[in-house]
Amino acid sequence: MRQIAIYGKGGIGKSTIASNLAAAYADLGLKVMMIGCDPKADCTRNLRGETEIDTILEVMRVKEVKKLEVSDLVEGRSIAVEEVVHEGYKGVLCIECGGPEPGVGCAGRGVIIATDLLKKLGVYEKYDLDIVIYDILGDVVCGGFAMPLRESLAGEVYIVTSSDFMSIYAANNICKGIERYAARGGSLLGGIIYNVRGSMDYNYIEPVKRFSALIGSSLIGEIPNSSTIIKSEIVGKTVLEYDPDSEISDLFKWLAETIYNNTNTNNINTNNANTSNKAKVPHALRKEDLKEIAEEIRRYAEAGAGAGALAGGAES
């Protein structure tokens, strides 16, 4: 069973990429599960359309879990697997961890509780899965959101970023988390996925290429701006379901295949020069290096190179 984590700054397009990867693997006949680790609980929306599902934390609140330990719930079968696992596009199993009630509790702690419940319920074994995809908020790599890294739930991590400095900044923080936990047997970085988001990204991939090289990783895929993505998400679908013959669908299929064939995810070989396709421990950048990238982006912006695209930036 492959376990893959998709990290990145909020709004960078993690869920778009993760859900389309899940759909691509399902199209290949693989048994796929996608776990949304974001308090907004909308990670799996494109796989289930208009169907609303209860999050793990919502189910636990209804059953007054505050009075019980997770182990008590499992042993007493107060929570059934079917209450937290829901079927979506072509049998993709969708789970949303959810978050605490607004103003109460910690969302990161919620991820810890939710993943603990899934393990104790034997969810991974019950469904004989081929691939599990975690979609994880990466603005703050706290103990909860770092759970898949720390516990090595995901064997490999892919970071989504654009050429926007704050998304690169968030990506660097994620690298710090990977670097910290990898020494204890945690997850490794499989690569960087570049996602076009706005005016800065048009014909300006250089900051992402430079960042990838400096941390010792590689750019594993590029997702262009596409109106098909916008149209598909309005109706709660992936582009593979909405327009399977489109160019953007082919690109997601290619990205899914590239990640699937990146099989050296548990090997760190610092003596082998040909390690570009191997998952590695990244070397998070120092403040000085980040400042240089920020200055490069500032110079590009001041030159007005992206001005013509300001009106055409599509969300994905």
Q: How far apart are CA 51 and CA 53, in angstroms?
A: 6
Q: How far apart are CA 41 and CA 43, in angstroms?
A: 6
Neighbours of 75 (CB within 10 A): 11
- Write down the catalytic residue from 31, 40, 119, 120: 40
Note if 40 is an active site residue.
Answer: yes
- Write down the catalytic residue from 27, 38, 139, 201: 139
Q: Are 86 and 52 in contact (CB under 8 A)?
A: no
Burial 247-283 (b: 16+ CB within 10 A, else e): ebbebbbebbeebbebebbeeeeeeeeebeebbbbbe
Neighbours of 305 (CB within 10 A): 15
Task: Give alpha helix (H) positions in the chain.
Answer: 14-27, 45-48, 56-62, 70-75, 81-84, 107-121, 123-126, 147-150, 165-182, 206-214, 227-234, 239-242, 247-260, 287-302
Note if 9 is an active site residue.
Answer: yes
Beta pairing, strands 32-37 & 131-137: parallel
DSSP state of 201: G
Note if 14 is an active site residue.
Answer: yes
- Write down the catalytic residue from 14, 237, 253, 280: 14
Give residue for tokens 């993690």.
14
Q: How far apart are CA 160 and CA 135, in angstroms?
A: 11
Q: How far apart are CA 190 and CA 99, in angstroms?
A: 28
Q: Which residues are catalytic?
A: 9, 14, 40, 139
